[in-house]
Amino acid sequence: MRFSRVLRVGAVVAATSLALAACGGGGGNGGGDSQNESLVQRAEQGRLTIGIKIDQPGLGLQTPDGGYEGFDVDVAKYIAKELGVEEGDIEFVETPSAQRENMIQKGDVDFIVASYSITDERKQKVDFAGPYFIAHQDLLVRANDNSIKSAENLNNKKLCSVRGSTSAQNVKNDFAPQADLLEYAGYSQCLNGLESGAVDALTTDDTILAGYAAQNPGKFKLVGANLSDERYGVGLRKGDTEGRQAINNAIRKMQQDGTWKKSAERWFGPAGYKVPEPPAIDQ
């Protein structure tokens, strides 16, 4: 009798364990086996969690009503739809620059579309689809500041960027070794510092800076430095070849059917930004 009772208890424990394991699968907020699923498999469940920026006008911005808008948001929605997931079934999550690789690796997001430049260092931790856009690093200064006309003019001046971004360090390494680097949590804080005079310049991609300039007419201007090429990619779990190919197919279709150009002109055109041709996608 005792032996029979032990068997019954063991069966209950085993059944409970199986049920818990089943509940743990699926979704982008994973852990466990869900991290081993491909993006395509997760999309088949009807929902996706996508990382974006929420403080970048023209790229990824949270609106007062709680929605999201911008070129990156349009790209994310297009990819999701091509994977079979409608806009209403997307959960958008803010992904700070310094946390992007970690959030992908942990399964907090299914993929990231957040002005995410493809670099060899990042490719050691995550995979990239794309590129879907090529931006250029530039400088934003106060409209009445004529002392900064190039990156070399930043020696002994305060240069701001966000934590986890390589932009400010690139300027210090290659153009202005005496620049005083300030790193804030978000671009909006850098912008506030620039407006108040706490910093002298903000550096990041020209797409982001154009959005801020358009949002604050008469306050800021772009220097036009074109310091680097920034190849924006869609970040996803390393080794997910199927997911990467599916995203590339979606980006290619977005370019070919005119949606890519229409979105880029909508979000970047008002700032006088000349929209380039769509980039070739890495194979």
- 68-69 and 220-222 beta bridge pairing: unpaired
How many other CB atoms sit within 10 Å of the CB of residue 1?
5
pLDDT range class, residue 34, cuts 50, 70, 90: low
Domains of the chain in sequence order: 32-134+231-271 (3.40.190.10), 135-229 (3.40.190.10)
At residue 4, the pLDDT reads 41
pLDDT range class, residue 23, cuts 50, 70, 90: very low
Average pLDDT over residues 45-52: 97
Bond before 96 cis per omega within 30 degrees: no
Q: What is the mean pLDDT of the chain?
A: 87
- Say what the pTM is: 0.77
With a CB cutoff of 8 Å and minimum separation 6, the contacts of 96 are 162, 163, 164, 185, 186
- 229-237 and 111-112 beta bridge pairing: antiparallel
Residue 256 DSSP class = H
Q: Give the C-alpha separation, 259 to 241, whole Å.
A: 25
Q: Residue 225 pLDDT more than 80?
A: yes
Greatest alpha-carbon pair distance for the chain in Å reads 91
pLDDT range class, residue 188, cuts 50, 70, 90: confident
- With vertex at residue 95, the alpha carbon angle to CA 94 and CA 97, rounded to the nearest 5 degrees, is 140
Q: Residue 283 pLDDT more than 80?
A: no
**Amino acid making up residue 194:** L
Q: Give the C-alpha separation, 226 to 229, whole Å.
A: 8
Cβ contact 100:235 at 8 Å: yes
218 or 1, higher pLDDT: 218
Task: Give the model confidence (pLDDT) of 230-258 as tens digits.
Answer: 999 999 999 999 999 999 999 999 999 99
Q: Give the C-alpha separation, 274 to 262, whole Å.
A: 13
Residue carrying structure tokens 């005079």? 197
Which residue in 157, 199, 160, 147 sits closest to 178, CA to CA? 157
At residue 35, the pLDDT reads 61
Tell me the helix, strand and coil percentages in the chain, rounded to 5. Answer: 45, 25, 35
pLDDT range class, residue 10, cuts 50, 70, 90: very low
How far CA 198 is from CA of 55, 155, 180, in Å, comes to 20, 16, 12
Which residue in 161, 263, 273 sits closest to 211, CA to CA? 273
Q: Give the C-alpha separation, 199 to 217, whole Å.
A: 19
Which residue in 204, 197, 194, 199 sits closest to 182, CA to CA? 199
Residue 117 DSSP class = B
How many other CB atoms sit within 10 Å of the CB of residue 9?
10
Task: Give the model confidence (pLDDT) of 166-176 as tens digits.
Answer: 788 889 999 99
